[in-house]
Amino acid sequence: MVGNASDELFSGFWPIMRRFLFAFLPLWVFLIAYSADINVIISAILAGASVSLVAIYEKKKILSENEKQSDGNKVIK
């Protein structure tokens, strides 16, 4: 029995990737926006919003994995 469904994503590599993305994705987004001559405040807002993309992606991936696994378990009641 799996305690956390996200531990099984990408053959168990997802928890490491998620920590890496949470740490560096906002930095990358900020630096890209800053180098594109976007205002610093707007760049910071975009960088902060990028963190939620990781959580949204994880949720959608878990839902799709659950749907794949439950396709064979459909029972007519």
72 occurs within a structural domain: no
The 8 Å CB, 24+ separation contacts for 58-61 are 58/6, 58/9, 58/14, 58/18, 61/9
Q: How does residue 45 score in pLDDT terms, banded at 50, 70 and 90?
A: very high
Please, what is the average pLDDT of the chain?
80
**pLDDT 10s digits, 62-72:** 788 777 766 66
Q: Is residue 13 part of a domain?
A: no
Task: Assess if residue 15 is contained within a domain.
Answer: no
pTM of the model: 0.63
Residue 8 in any domain: the answer is no
The domain of 42 spans: 26-62
CA-to-CA distance for 38 and 20, rounded, in angstroms? 25
Residue of 67, 70, 72, 62 lying closest to 10 (CA atoms)? 62
> pLDDT value at position 30?
94
Q: Is residue 71 part of a domain?
A: no
Q: Which pair of structure tokens corresponds to residue 2?
A: 């799996």
Region 42-58 average pLDDT: 89
Number of domains in the chain: 1
